[in-house]
Amino acid sequence: MKGKLSGIRVVDLSQFLPGPMLTRMMADQGAEVIKVEPPAGDPAREAGLFVDGVSVWFANLNRGKQSVVLDLKTPDGTAALTDLLRGADVFVEGFRPGVMARLGFGWDQVRAINPRIVYCSLSAFGQQGALSQHPAHDMAVQAMAGFLSVNGSPPAVPGVASADVAAGLTGLSAILMALIGRERTGQGDHIDIAMFDSLLPWCAHTAGSVLAGGEAPRADNQRSLGGAGFYNVYETADGRHVVLGGREIKFARSLLTALGRPDLIALADAEAGAPQAPLIAFLRETFRTRTRDEWDAFMHDIDVAYAPVLDFAEALAQPHVAERGLRRGHHIAPAIRFAGEDWQPGEVPPLGGNA
């Protein structure tokens, strides 16, 4: 597959998740991604479970790239990176603000080498601001952005690195915008992507009460708002769980009629602001009367936003995943694919294999 980004060269100096995910999405679409690693390699090479001696996590973040080992604290290393940047379209780095400038590769320094380069800096809190030097990974950013405050009480450790993923997706969008802009101006740009900044827009609906001048939402009141009975998690008879995931009154009408309780439909009306406790109590008691599989069968022909809570093994084993080609061996396929293209995972680069 040639890909939409064929002919774009990316120099990737990032590690762990946000930057490598961003540049992997570019590699999946045919960009030439040169992963610059220190002599010890990206720490993600040693993370998680391994298949044939390769970390599955690392493979899914770095397939289709080239690996070059450079020690940027040596003259040879800095000279080699300078040469790479001269011919690059995009440069991605994920260090704490100020580190790249001290190494001689800050935005102003790189722009002098290549005025057309799109330079993307990824960090926890951005290149300036009171928190810019504060050390943080994903969970700390989620905590400071308000995410964890509505994630159970006490807050649960997040199962997905939302701040990392938000930054990677935001960075990819910004780079593509900057490349389009370069076609018009001939000049590159510096993109300052913060995990914190990237996550906050995801909270606009949850933090709506604050934006409207009210109080902050709490974990213990998120499931007592209008229509909450139909946006909730329920335990089944076998100790597993299902969710109702749509507050619209039409879903409540369908399910409560099927359950023989049309008298509760009025309580499910989110707009009416009816008390939710009796409805939620009924649904909790009812869902405990059947197993998860029995509820799957019961819900099959009912127009309701219902889903079983699956683990990852169950999720990836669904026929839908196979039908859409979302898993290829040990790889998750990219969400962005185009008609007529047969995507296959690129090779996982050995450390320094392209030196």
Q: What's the whole-number mean pLDDT along residues 161-186?
A: 97
| Exposure on the CB side of residue 66, measured as CA atoms within 13 A | 13
Q: What pLDDT, on a 0 to 100 scale, did the predictor assign at position 273?
A: 60
274 CB neighbour count, 10 Å cutoff: 17
Cβ proximity of 234 and 302 under 8 Å: no
Residue 197's contacts (CB-CB under 8 Å, 6 or more residues apart) are 126, 170
Predicted confidence (pLDDT) per residue in 191-216, tens digit: 999 999 999 998 887 777 777 777 77
pTM for this predicted structure: 0.89
Active site residue 263: no
The predicted-structure confidence for 265-316, as pLDDT tens digits, reads as follows: 988 875 656 677 889 999 999 999 999 999 999 999 999 999 999 999 999 9
Q: What is the pLDDT of residues 97-120, one digit of tens each?
A: 999 999 999 999 999 999 999 999
DSSP 318: S
pLDDT above 50: residue 355: yes
* E strand residue ranges, 139-238: 189-194, 231-235
Catalytic residue among 28, 164, 192, 197: 164
Please check the confidence at residue 217 and state whether its pLDDT lies above 80.
no
- The residue among 83, 86, 107 whose CA lies nearest residue 95 is 107
Model confidence at 57: pLDDT above 90: yes
Q: Answer for the pair 267, 276: CB distance below 8 angstroms, yes or no.
A: yes
What domains lie within the chain, and their CATH numbers? 9-202+328-332 (3.40.50.10540), 223-309 (3.30.1540.10)
